[in-house]
Structure formats: C-alpha cells, structure tokens
Amino acid sequence: MGSTSSMLTQYDIEEVQDHCDHAFSQQEIVSLYHRFCQLDRNGGGFVSAEEFMTVPEFAVNPLSQRLLRMLDGLNFKEFVAFLSAFSPRASLQQKIEFIFRVYDTDCNGKVAFDDILSILRDLTGSFMTEQQRQKVLIHVLEEAGYTKDSNFTLPDFMKILDNSDVKMEVEVPID
C-alpha cells in the first residue's frame, strides 16, 4: 500500500489534471488517489456503487442513490472529474452545470417539472405528502414566472442560481 503513491508519475498526474481542468493541485490528486485506492477495496481499478455505500456518511445522504447512478464504476480519472465541481478553483458555472446534471437524469439537456419533483421527493421523503410537494413546487415556479410545463435548460439554471449563494466546496485533506 505504501508504494502506490510512487506509482503515479508526473505524466499521470498531469493527465488527470488536464482531464479535470486543473481543479486540483498535484498534491491533492495524490491524496485523491490514496482515497480512491482505499474505496476500491477489491482493487479492480474502479469503485462500484457497493463500495461507495460502505462509507456511512455517504450512504445516509438523501441523494446517495441518485448520485450513485453517476458514480457507479468510475475509474480514477472520472472520479477526479466528478469531484472537480467541488474544488474551490471550479467556477460558479461549473458548479451549476453539475447541479443541472444531477437534475437532468435522462441527460436530454432539459429539466422538467417531474425531474425537480423527484429530487424534492428524495430530499423530503415521508415528511411531505406528494400533494404538498406539488403545491410547493408550483407555488415557487409561478412566483418566478414559470409554469408547471416549463422546461429548464442549463442557461435557465444559470439565471436562476446565479445570484444565490451556491457554496459547493470540499477540501481535499493532504497528509
């Protein structure tokens, strides 16, 4: 285990950095690599949904099942790319793009009423009824000048979330 860090050459690290738009420093990439190997228990070079779920703090997250669809079977480069939206160096646009991707489950570039409703369902579980959720959603949509049938694109998301305080920063521990 101790020798794995030396297996990452400068070339490897630079390649990963290019892949994630230089969102992480070289040291951070080395740290992430250690973490990746730790999560990849059976050493297959990718982390399965099962392995992500062994982290209790992740498993209890209300959006964990949804995120797993994006995470399942990632190799190291993809793993870093996934996390790059959470780097302090990532732009607000990248962060909003990530949020949009979480909403846009069918990847058609549009987020419809049902997509938003389904996230709201994950977030509130049995503590709101389906009617309450619909009511809330329709209320805020209309207030913002949209309707139930509006489809949201990425630029719409940018406009809506631009001046709200989206704070999505995760520090990579370096030891």
Partner 1 sequence: MATSSVAGDIELDRPNLEDYLPSDSLPQEFPRNLHLRDLLDISPVLTEAAGAIVDDSFTRCFKSNSPEPWNWNIYLFPLWCLGVVIRYGILFPLRGLTLLVGWLAFFAAFFPVHFLLKGQKMRSKIERKLVEMMCSVFVASWTGVIKYHGPRPSTRPHQVFVANHTSMIDFIILEQMTAFAVIMQKHPGWVGFIQKTILESVGCIWFNRNDLKDREVVAKKLRDHVQHPDSNPLLIFPEGTCVNNQYTVMFKKGAFELGCAVCPIAIKYNKIFVDAFWNSKKQSFTMHLVRLMTSWAVVCDVWYLEPQYLRDGETAIEFAERVRDMIAARAGLKKVPWDGYLKHNRPSPKHTEEKQRIFADSVLRRLEES
58 burial type by CB count under 10 A (0-12 exposed, 13-18 middle, 19+ buried): middle
Please report the DSSP string for 26-55 in residue order.
Answer: HHHHHHHHHHHHHH-TT-SSSB-HHHHTTS
Q: Whole-number minimum distance, CB 95 to partner 1, in Å? A: 7
Q: Which residues bind partner 1 (CB under 8 A)?
A: 1-2, 32, 35, 38-39, 52-53, 55-64, 67, 71, 83, 85-86, 95, 98-99, 102-103, 116, 119-120, 123-128, 132, 136-137, 139-141, 143-144, 146, 157, 160-161, 163-164, 166-173
CB of 59 to partner 1, least distance (A): 5
> With respect to partner 1, which residue has the nearer C-beta, 11 or 127?
127
Q: Cα separation of 17 and 15, whole Å? A: 5
CB 167 within 8 A of CB 90: no
Minimum CB separation of residue 131 from partner 1 in Å reads 12
What are the structure tokens assigned to 57, written together?
């703090």
Q: In the complex with partner 1, which residue's Cβ is closer, 18 or 53?
A: 53
